[in-house]
């Protein structure tokens, strides 16, 4: 038998060392090195491992890679796999790329397995292999029966955690798409440490990555997260995959947000919105109506802002509560909005609008659980704060989209035509924008009144008189 060897791995970045050290020289984290038992690859342990297409027939040698001039490389546009889920297609940049490997992370119980099983069942014309290391076949069958299309003859279920056995089944099934639930439960016989360890996660991901690139088969990996919200395992896991998706939301609320944090084939500013129902996840094709469905027009402290998430325009409700400070130091709290930017806008209101907010607590919330950083929400934040301070409601058919500068000037925002079209579609009659946004834009073709302003006091006078 081969002699076992122990190596120390950093749980943060995956760096390795022959002995334990207190601080990782690669990432600078303290007390992250753990000892794991590893074993060198042997002929006996490679049985069932994924064999690359470049293996020489009749031997274990592989062809050596050769350098090729850039001009001699033929770039072919491979068609993407368009799934029936429009929200997932938008987040991925237009669909699944053949040979790509996608990592999906999220809180426990948020709906990662439900989303992946729903995608597997919806791809009727493809053969999908769903590998689960966390649930039994009966549990997966029960979830599939709760969904609307729970019968799909081309969806194969495999409950296995050993990667060598998984590749044997892949050779038999020959799937078009592979789903792994989850990567932290997989283990390879090439590494003797336990499942979920740094070396196991790295080795198993490398095997699936090699399979995806050699066969042009998309691989979807479900990943666990730590208590601080990052993907469990070494940071190198996110570097190895092509796309990293984050499934967010409150388990006690029905809405879920699928956000891109890394994408080699598209934009990282897109998001998809779902609603969790009894029969699975429902796509929310028009999230503006959902985000504005519970607003009351007669209440103060509420303003509607027009924002953009990727290529999707959204109208969101900005809620503010301004009350006299009970203690000596006033509180500044924000949910879904940058707290430092909120303090900057409050300073602008004090300096340029003459408001006295130094003895008031200010609480800000973006309704619907969204986290936004679009500067176009600055005007809506200022309007909501002034509305709550003076207890004067803002008309329900008015929305705002502009950035506020430190001198109180109203600055232009990008793609105003999409924001105006979204506001018109939802029945808004008036919209406040920057005076500099009107250049080169035909405002007459929109069916709502556009108020072009250049200073913050003009906005406040127009809204509150």
- pTM as predicted: 0.75
Alpha-carbon distance 245 to 221, whole Å? 10
- Tokens describing residue 43: 């002929």
Domain-by-domain residue ranges, the chain?
Answer: 5-39, 80-285, 290-464
In degrees, rounded to 5, the angle at the alpha carbon of residue 18 between the alpha carbons of residues 14 and 22 is 70
| pLDDT given for residue 445 in this prediction | 77
Q: Which string of DSSP letters, residue by residue, matches 151-167?
A: --TTEEEEE--BHHHHH
Please, are residues 201 and 12 in contact by the beta-carbon 8 Å criterion? no
82 labelled as ligand-binding? no
Task: Tell me the β-bridge partners of 453.
Answer: 434
Q: Is 330 annotated as a binding residue?
A: no
* pLDDT at residue 46, rounded to an integer: 40
What whole-number distance in Å separates Cα of residue 441 and Cα of residue 443? 6
Residue 157 annotated as binding site: no
- What lies within 8 Å, CB to CB, of 434 at 6+ separation is 402, 403, 410, 411, 412, 413, 452, 453, 454
Quote the CA–CA distance of 169 and 445 in Å, as a whole number: 59
Kindly list the strands in the beta sheet with 219-223, ordered across the sheet, starting from the edge strand earlier in the chain.
155-159, 128-132, 177-181, 219-223, 101-106, 243-248, 255-263, 271-277, 280-283
Per-residue pLDDT of the chain (465 residues; tens, 9 = 90+): 455 677 888 877 778 888 899 999 988 889 888 887 765 544 334 434 555 444 434 444 445 667 889 888 777 666 899 999 999 999 998 899 999 999 999 888 888 999 999 999 988 889 999 999 999 999 999 888 888 565 678 899 999 999 999 999 999 999 999 999 989 999 998 887 788 888 888 889 999 999 999 999 999 999 988 877 788 777 888 889 999 999 988 766 778 889 899 999 888 878 888 988 888 888 888 888 777 766 666 789 999 999 998 778 899 999 999 999 887 789 999 999 999 999 999 999 999 998 989 899 999 999 877 888 899 999 999 999 999 999 999 998 899 999 999 999 999 999 898 899 889 988 899 999 998 886 667 777 788 899 999 999 999 999 987
113 annotated ligand binder: yes
Strand partners, 132: 159, 181
CA-nearest of 221, 207, 213, 217 to 175 is: 217
The CATH architecture of the domain made up of 80-285 is: 3-Layer(aba) Sandwich (3.40)
Q: Establish whether 434 is an annotated binding residue.
A: no
Q: Identify whether the C-beta of residue 376 lies closer than 8 Å to the C-beta of residue 307.
A: yes
Consult the annotation and say whether 48 binds a ligand: no
d(Cα 335, Cα 413) in Å, to the nearest integer? 23
Q: Give long-range contacts, CB 8 A cutoff, 24+ apart: 354-357.
A: 355/386, 355/389, 357/322, 357/330, 357/385, 357/389
> What is the reported pLDDT for 64?
60
Q: 266 Cβ partners below 8 Å, 6+ apart? A: 92, 93, 94, 260
Q: What is the number of alpha carbons within 13 Å of residue 161 lying toward its C-beta?
A: 15
From residue 213, give the alpha-carbon distance in Å to each of 52, 103, 263: 9, 15, 16
CB 314 within 8 A of CB 287: yes
Has 328 been labeled as part of a binding site?
Answer: no
Q: Hey, what's the torsion of the CAs at 100, 182, 203, 47, to 10 degrees?
A: -100
Does 112 carry a binding-site annotation?
A: yes
Cβ atoms of 401 and 306 closer than 8 Å: yes
Q: How many residues does the chain have?
A: 465
Fold of 290-464: Ribosomal Protein S5; domain 2 (3.30.230)
Residue 270 DSSP label: -
Instruction: Report the pLDDT value the prediction gives residue 11, as an integer from 0 to 100.
Output: 78
Sign, CA torsion 26/32/38/41: negative
Structural Rg of the chain based on CA atoms:
27
């Amino acid at each position: 038998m081969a002699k076992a060897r122990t190596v120390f791995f950093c749980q943060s970045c995956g760096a390795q060392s022959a002995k334990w050290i207190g601080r990782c020289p690669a990432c600078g984290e303290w007390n992250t090195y753990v000892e794991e038992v590893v074993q060198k690859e042997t002929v006996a342990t490679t049985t069932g491992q994924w064999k690359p297409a470049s293996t020489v027939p009749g031997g274990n040698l592989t062809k050596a890679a050769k350098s090729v001039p850039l001009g001699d490389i033929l770039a072919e546009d491979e068609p993407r796999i368009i799934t029936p889920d429009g929200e997932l297609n938008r987040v991925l940049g237009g669909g699944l790329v053949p040979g790509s490997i996608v990592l999906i992370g999220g809180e426990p119980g948020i709906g990662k397995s439900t989303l992946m099983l729903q995608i597997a069942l919806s791809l009727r014309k493809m053969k999908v292999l769903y590998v689960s290391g966390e649930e039994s076949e009966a549990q997966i069958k029960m979830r599939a029966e709760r969904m609307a299309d729970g019968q799909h003859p081309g969806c194969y279920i495999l409950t296995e955690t050993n990667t060598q056995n998984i590749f044997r089944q892949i050779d038999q099934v020959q799937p078009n798409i592979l789903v792994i639930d989850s990567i932290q439960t997989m283990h390879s016989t090439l590494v003797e440490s336990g499942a979920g360890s740094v070396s196991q996660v790295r080795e198993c991901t490398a095997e699936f990555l090699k399979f995806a690139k050699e066969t042009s088969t998309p691989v979807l990996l479900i990943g666990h997260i730590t208590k601080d919200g990052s993907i469990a395992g070494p940071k190198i896991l996110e570097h190895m995959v092509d796309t990293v998706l984050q499934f967010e939301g409150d388990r006690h609320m029905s809405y879920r947000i699928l956000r891109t944090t890394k994408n080699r084939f598209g934009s990282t500013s897109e998001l998809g919105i779902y609603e969790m129902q009894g029969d699975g996840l429902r796509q929310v094709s028009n999230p503006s109506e959902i985000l504005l469905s519970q607003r009351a027009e007669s209440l103060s402290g509420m303003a509607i802002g027009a924002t953009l998430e990727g290529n999707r325009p959204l109208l969101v409700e900005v809620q503010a509560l301004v009350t006299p400070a009970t203690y000596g130091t006033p509180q500044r709290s924000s949910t879904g909005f940058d707290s430092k930017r909120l303090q900057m806008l409050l300073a602008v209101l004090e300096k340029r609008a003459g408001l006295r907010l130094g003895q008031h607590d200010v609480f800000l919330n973006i309704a619907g659980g969204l986290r936004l950083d679009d500067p176009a929400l600055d005007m809506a934040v200022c309007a909501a704060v002034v509305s709550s301070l003076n207890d004067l409601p803002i008309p329900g058919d008015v929305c705002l989209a502009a950035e506020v500068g430190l001198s109180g000037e109203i600055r232009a925002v990008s793609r105003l035509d999409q924001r105006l079209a979204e506001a018109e579609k939802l029945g808004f009659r008036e919209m406040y924008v920057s005076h500099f946004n009107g250049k080169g834009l035909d405002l007459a073709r929109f069916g709502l009144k556009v108020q072009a302003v250049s200073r913050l006091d003009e906005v406040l006078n127009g809204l509150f008189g």
